[in-house]
């Protein structure tokens, strides 16, 4: 076969510009110009890596099978771009087959060179370069594997620590409330026995049990009082209890106040006990009802705590996208909210004020939610560290024509211009040794740009740094 291309035509391709005439002759003799129609497969992932391809005209797209989904990893119309058996100089690469698939987006022309023959010629032409390339590729692979694993472990550690902290608080509250509830239920049974010994008549018992049901319902709707209002109400209740010779007013008043009860309610209890004899004083009735009020308050606390745990588990599932398709139509706010929950312990620890400016009218967009959640995590985590203990984190969503925009800003010291242009480079980090791998923003850039065909940019000045993610509103071909 023969490419039937002149030396001048070959030298127009940047790969061959500096080759000697005899090397160009080899390329021409061993190569072949192949044409493919639009939407035609050039080669499939895993097929034997027989050819090193060079794009002569048209547009071509590369894709890989990731988790059972065909994911586009690149698209280009740049003449001279090479694909296929690109690591032909590594012996094992030809045995492993093509690492991706290629499809013609438009009509394309490609120069095909046999990878096996090219490997032999390349080793003869550039023996030192072959050794350097082999060392660089293998070393990079090992380094990326180690750094990538560390990045995942660091992210997992941050999120698990935050989630553990968040789960521990409601779980501990529920445990404390349950323990106290056991004591209060026992006390209620004891006080009920004492009241029964006081020879309550039918009307008195009905009145007290009616108040018990009413007070229990009131607890569920009790408003949250300010510290001043709660203190004033407790003082009023305490004075009333002291005036009626009820022992332990300091203990009972806070219970009734927390349950939303006032002096008028205690008067109703006193009226209901008028027909009880002196062996069952007002003191016993009030304490019995106080146990009821406190029991309901504890049950509400347990319900709130378990609901909080359920919400946290739901947020964790939303964040990790467990049991969900990797590619789906998503509400971008679900992932942002879940990420904020997962990072809430870190935000609270650093005293960061959070401002959410969400446009909830935005439509759902196609995407990989678990990967986008990793983007939000990386950017927010960097913002928290940049603010170093205090500041405001702003998360904003809006739309711009065919784009959905997520903007994450912080009030940190800003990113110097010489660093700003490098923040998306792999392995570049300004953190101390052992604090970061320099892959967080590189991964984020690849998720946004390569996986979602969007854009990730940063604007920064002292006190105002904003990372802006632009995602297409509709699925890209």
Which two tokens mark 346? 């870190």
Section 399-417 average pLDDT = 91
Q: Report the pLDDT value the prediction gives residue 407, as an integer from 0 to 100.
A: 96
Q: Is the pLDDT of residue 204 over 70?
A: no
For residues 375 and 447, the answer to whether their CB atoms sit within 8 Å is: yes
Give the confidence band of 279 by pLDDT, cuts at 50, 70, 90: very low
User: Buried (b) or exposed (e) across 7-32, using 16+ Cβ within 10 A?
Assistant: eeebeebeebeebeeebbebbbebbe
Whether 362 shows a pLDDT value over 90: the answer reads yes
pLDDT at 184: 67
Residue 106's pLDDT band, with cuts at 50, 70 and 90, is very high
- Identify which has the larger pLDDT, 101 or 280: 101
How large a percentage of the chain has pLDDT more than 70?
Answer: 76
Q: Residue 259 has what pLDDT?
A: 77
CA distances to 103, 217, 269, 289 from 260, rounded to whole Å, are: 70, 10, 15, 13
Domains and CATH numbers, the chain: 7-125 (2.60.120.10), 163-311 (no CATH), 325-472 (3.30.565.10)
102-112 as b/e: b if 16+ CB within 10 A: bbbbeebebbb
Find where tokens 């239920």 sit.
Answer: 185
Q: Indicate the average pLDDT of the chain.
A: 78
Confidence (pLDDT) at 102: 92
Q: What 3-state DSSP class applies to 320?
A: helix
pLDDT tens, position by position, 462-475: 999 999 999 998 87
Alpha helices (H) along 244-353: 249-258, 263-272, 282-320, 332-342, 344-349
- pLDDT value, residue 278: 47
DSSP-derived letter for residue 61 is E
Distance of CA 70 to CAs 40, 53, 473, Å? Answer: 15, 21, 20
CA separation for the pair 350, 21 (Å, rounded) = 65
Q: Are 260 and 219 in contact (CB under 8 A)?
A: yes
CA angle, residues 406, 420, 378, in degrees to nearest 5: 45
Q: Are 368 and 329 in contact (CB under 8 A)?
A: no
Name the nearest CA neighbour of 49 among 118, 110, 122: 118
pTM of structure: 0.46
């Amino acid at each position: 076969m023969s490419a039937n291309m002149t030396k001048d035509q070959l030298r127009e391709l940047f790969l061959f510009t500096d080759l000697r005439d005899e090397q160009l002759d080899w390329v021409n003799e061993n190569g072949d110009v192949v044409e493919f129609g639009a939407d035609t497969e050039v080669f499939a992932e895993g097929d034997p890596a027989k050819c090193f391809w060079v794009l002569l005209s048209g547009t071509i797209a590369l894709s890989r099978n990731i988790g059972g989904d065909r994911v586009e990893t690149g698209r280009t119309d740049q003449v001279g771009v090479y694909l296929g058996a690109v690591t032909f100089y590594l012996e094992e690469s030809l045995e492993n087959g093509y690492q991706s698939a290629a499809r013609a987006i438009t009509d394309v022309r490609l120069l095909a060179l046999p990878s096996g023959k090219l490997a032999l010629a390349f080793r003869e032409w550039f023996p030192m370069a072959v050794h350097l390339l082999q060392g660089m590729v293998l070393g990079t692979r090992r380094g990326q594997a180690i750094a990538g694993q560390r990045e995942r472990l660091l992210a997992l550690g941050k999120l698990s620590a935050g989630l553990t902290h968040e789960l521990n608080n409601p779980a501990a509250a529920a445990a404390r409330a349950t323990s106290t509830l056991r004591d209060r239920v026992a006390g209620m049974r004891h006080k009920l026995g004492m009241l029964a010994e006081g020879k309550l008549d039918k009307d008195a018992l009905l009145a007290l049990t009616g108040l018990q049901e009413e007070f229990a319902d009131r607890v569920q709707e009790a408003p949250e009082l300010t510290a001043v209002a709660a203190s004033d109400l407790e003082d009023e209740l305490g004075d009333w209890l002291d005036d009626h010779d009820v022992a332990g007013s300091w203990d009972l008043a806070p219970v009734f106040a927390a349950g939303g009860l006032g002096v008028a309610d205690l008067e109703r209890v006193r009226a209901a006990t008028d027909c009880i004899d002196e062996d069952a004083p007002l003191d016993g009735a009030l304490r019995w009802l106080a146990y009821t009020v406190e029991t309901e308050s504890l049950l509400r606390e347990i319900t709130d705590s378990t609901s909080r745990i359920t919400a946290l588990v739901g947020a964790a599932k939303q964040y990790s996208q467990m049991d969900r398709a990797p590619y789906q139509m998503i509400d971008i706010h679900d992932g942002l909210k879940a990420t904020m929950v997962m990072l809430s312990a870190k935000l609270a620890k650093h005293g960061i004020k959070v401002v959410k400016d969400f446009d909830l009218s935005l439509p759902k967009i196609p995407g990989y939610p678990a990967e986008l959640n990793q983007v939000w995590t990386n950017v927010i985590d960097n913002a928290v560290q940049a603010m170093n203990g205090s500041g405001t984190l702003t998360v904003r969503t809006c739309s711009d024509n065919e784009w959905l925009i997520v903007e994450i800003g912080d009030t940190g010291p800003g990113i110097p211009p010489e660093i700003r242009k490098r923040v998306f480079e792999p392995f570049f980090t300004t953190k101390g040794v052992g604090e970061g791998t320099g892959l967080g923003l590189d991964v984020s850039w690849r998720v946004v740009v390569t996986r979602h065909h969007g854009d990730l940019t940063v604007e920064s000045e002292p006190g105002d740094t904003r990372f802006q993610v632009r995602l297409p509103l509709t699925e890209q071909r």
